């Protein structure tokens, strides 16, 4: 096994998602994931504490990019403009590999209650990260929470659309989704 080859973490994620989609989460073992990725079990455990954590691979990076984008927004930016800056920064980091993996990831999540719960926790964590970044900019609690949740919804809607169409960059989809959410919230009265 070529455990010294670069990209082991990414290969593990792809192997796991494919196996989860093919045979189900519960039926997939760490040994199978490692074998498919061309690494040893010990290499797997250097990257992930368990197979459940494969679903949230990259979550810390995504949270960091979102919060850095929000923090880097111009001083006079509205909360949603700051969220847009975070979405653009995070979207720029995701490319064709992420887009190609998305349908298989969706199928894997749909096949397992445990993965659905983990995905929900990931969503809560991303919204909380954006809310905290907005609060650090001085946005009051309720407005920060609402903008963070709208940012999460825009990201999820944009990501889903992007992964289905397979064209352009993710940022155009997340910005469109955020604009639609702004318009919908204004229509609420």
Residue length of the chain? 189
What per-residue confidence (pLDDT) applies to 20?
87
What's the gap between Cα 75 and its chain centre?
A: 27
pLDDT reported for residue 1:
45
Residue 57 pLDDT class (50, 70, 90 cuts): confident
Residue-wise pLDDT for 140-151, tens only, equals 999 999 999 999
Q: Going along the chain, which residue ranges are E strands?
A: none
Domain 58-187: CATH superfamily is Tetracycline Repressor, domain 2 (1.10.357.10)
Structure tokens at 143: 């407005």
Q: What is the pLDDT of residues 102-142, one digit of tens each?
A: 888 888 888 888 888 888 988 999 999 999 999 999 999 99
- Top-level class of domain 8-53: mainly alpha
Q: What angle do CA 61, 37, 66 make, to 5 degrees?
A: 10
| Helix 8-23 with 96-110: angle, nearest 10 deg | 40
> What confidence score (pLDDT) does residue 42 get?
93
Q: Rounded to whole angstroms, what are the CA distances from 2 to 44, 96, 120, 152?
A: 12, 25, 34, 38
Domain ranges of the chain: 8-53, 58-187
Eight-class DSSP state of 50: S
Q: What is the pLDDT of residue 4?
A: 53
């Amino acid at each position: 096994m070529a455990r010294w080859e670069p990209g082991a973490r990414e290969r593990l994620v792809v192997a796991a998602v494919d196996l989860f989609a093919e045979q189900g989460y519960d039926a997939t073992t760490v040994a199978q994931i490692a074998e498919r990725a061309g690494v040893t079990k010990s290499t797997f455990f250097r990257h992930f504490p368990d197979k459940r954590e494969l679903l949230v691979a990259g979550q810390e990076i995504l949270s960091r990019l979102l919060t850095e984008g929000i923090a880097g927004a111009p001083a006079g930016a509205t909360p949603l403009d700051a969220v847009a800056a975070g979405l653009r920064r995070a979207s720029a980091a995701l490319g064709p590999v992420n887009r190609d993996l998305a349908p298989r990831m969706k199928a894997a999540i749909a096949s397992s209650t445990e993965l659905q719960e983990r995905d929900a926790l990931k969503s809560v964590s991303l919204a909380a990260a954006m809310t905290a970044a907005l609060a650090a900019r001085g946005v009051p609690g309720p407005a920060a929470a609402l903008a963070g949740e709208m940012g999460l919804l825009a990201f999820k809607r944009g990501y889903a659309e992007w992964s289905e169409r397979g064209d352009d960059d993710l940022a155009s989809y997340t910005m469109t989704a955020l604009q639609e959410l702004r318009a919908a919230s204004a229509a609420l009265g």
